[in-house]
Structure 1
Amino acid sequence: ISLSLAKEGASVAIMAKTVSQLEETMAQIRNSGGDVLALPGDITDELAVKGLIKEVIQRYGKIDILVNNAGITKMMPVLTTPPEEWKKIVEVNLFGTYNLCYSVIPHMIRQKSGKIINIGSDSSFIGYPLMSAYAASKHGILGITRSLSEELKNYNIQVNVICPAMVNTDMAPAAFRSRAIDPSQVAEVAVFLASQKSNSITGEALKVYGNQDMNWFGAQHAGLLKSIL
């Protein structure tokens, strides 16, 4: 998504905990001729997020687009998932999205324009077994998207959510990657939502399912899936 937006002419600030991944993405953007600012940080730390957003404003003067894409998951039955691990998934996926919105929205309100693009999932609609924390967090992202879209309409700020099925990233189980969606397909939707072409679209959940079967596993498949993973 960062690389696609940069190719469209956007100056991009990227944030992540892993410095090596930031450096890799920064190099790709610069090699494509883009302008990039890399910010190591933990999105679950509200004060740290505020400080990093301040750096973005100091560098670029404004923020036109916010993409909330950080996410983690773990496939385990709820009764064998340690509470701290369950909470961590919700903290990163849902509270991380909240922290970024909370820090960026005041700047967008002042300029009376902005695009917020949250990344949900097919798990924003489907409660797969072994993924209760992930499903709870992604259902929450759908809710915050819809609420914020109403709160911010009068400021010319559009808030939407992209809900992909399985995407071919490190989060996808290796056994299922052959039929996963290429990340570029999700990025193209993000570029559309970041553009003026989507100015009349807000509060929407855009499903990007490709040719995947939905409800691809349930109670009868949970034990088999655990053995594959």
Structure 2
Amino acid sequence: MKELNRETVAVITGASSGIGRATALALAGKGVRLSLLARSHDSLAEVSKLATEAGSADVHTSVCDVADEAMVQSAIRSTIEKYGRLDILINSAGLSLNGEVDGYALEDWRTVIETNLTGTFLTCREALPVMKRQSGGQIINISSGAGKNGIRNMAAYCASKFGVVGFSEALGLEVRGHNIRVSVLLPGSVATDFTRVANRQAQQPANSSPIDIGYSMTAGEVASVIVAMLEQPEQAWMSEVILRPLNLEMRRESKE
């Protein structure tokens, strides 16, 4: 099994909230050195403090919009300069601006695609050279149940998340010979502020998806699966993981 420890270095995008935040804290509990990327300085400072308290050997933060090429380059390079290596990249940054295609603004389309898909491309591109030099690394790109199933009023988001799946599959084939594993995780409904806002915009029930109405996972539960993916046997490659809520108690925000 691959061991996560105080020598391991992980970059996490979207680290200030939701799945990214929960994953940062889960890896901190393993002692992992963290490089946390997000757009909010104050939220990053809060997560950094919590990660240190949880046991991370060191925490580095970068204010970064993953759709901005120069900011991504700076964030990844500063991580490598500080730690000398990069073992794990987790792409959790994402957003959704929802509405019917008829009348949907091109600016909103570009914002969603550039954050969710282009941002994933940019961070992977910057991380790959050091992973190749190390002859190893692991990338986990967070897609969504919307990367397999279309959802009304969420065409841009679905397109971006379908794109993350295809990108991850292609990249995985490119780099497997360098001992780099690329995985894509497709979680179903997760009880986060992102999900509640996105579903409200798309006129879906809060914390739900078309195939899991009324059921949801917590961000911490998803983070636990991410840790398990990182600890898979050295010669195993979990290329795609579809994660859905069982959640019989239906932990759902009511009346939202």
Fold-level similarity (TM above 0.5): yes
Task: Tell me which amino acid in the other structure corresponds to 1:176.
Answer: A
Task: Tell me which amino acid in the other structure corresponds to 2:155.
Answer: S
Q: Deviations over 1:1-50 (max 9, x none)?
A: 11111111210100011112211211110111212111101111112211
Per the TM alignment, residue 197 of structure 1 is displaced from its structure 2 partner at its CA by: 2.8
Please give the alpha-carbon distance, in whole angstroms, between the structure 1 residues aligned to 2:140 and 2:100.
30
Task: Tell me which amino acid in the other structure corresponds to 2:93.
Answer: A
SS at match of 2:193: coil
Which residue does 2:202 correspond to in 1?
none
**Identical amino acids, percent of aligned pairs:** 31
Q: Which has the higher helix share?
A: 1
Report if the CA contact (8 A) 2:30-2:55 is conserved: no
Q: Deviations over 1:124-168 (max 9, x none)?
A: 100111000000000000001100110001100000011001111
Please give the alpha-carbon distance, in whole angstroms, between the structure 2 residues aligned to 1:210 and 1:199.
28
Q: Which runs of 5+ in 2 are unaligned?
A: 1-22, 198-204, 208-213, 248-254
SS at match of 2:89: strand
Number of aligned residue pairs: give it.
Answer: 214
What is the aligned-residue RMSD (CA, Å)? Answer: 1.9
Q: Deviations over 1:67-104 (max 9, x none)?
A: 00000012211113211001100000000000000100
Scaled by the length of structure 2, the TM-score of the pair is: 0.79
Task: Tell me which amino acid in the other structure corresponds to 1:185.
Answer: E
Please give the alpha-carbon distance, in whole angstroms, between the structure 1 residues aligned to 2:196 and 2:76.
33
After TM superposition, what 4+ stretches of structure 1 lie above 3 angstroms from structure 2? none
Which residue does 1:225 correspond to in 2?
none
1:144 is the counterpart of 2:167: yes
Q: 5 Å matches for 1:1-229?
A: 1-34=23-56, 35-173=58-196, 176-177=206-207, 179-197=215-233, 199-202=235-238, 204-211=239-246
Per the TM alignment, residue 176 of structure 1 is displaced from its structure 2 partner at its CA by: 2.0
SS at match of 1:179: coil
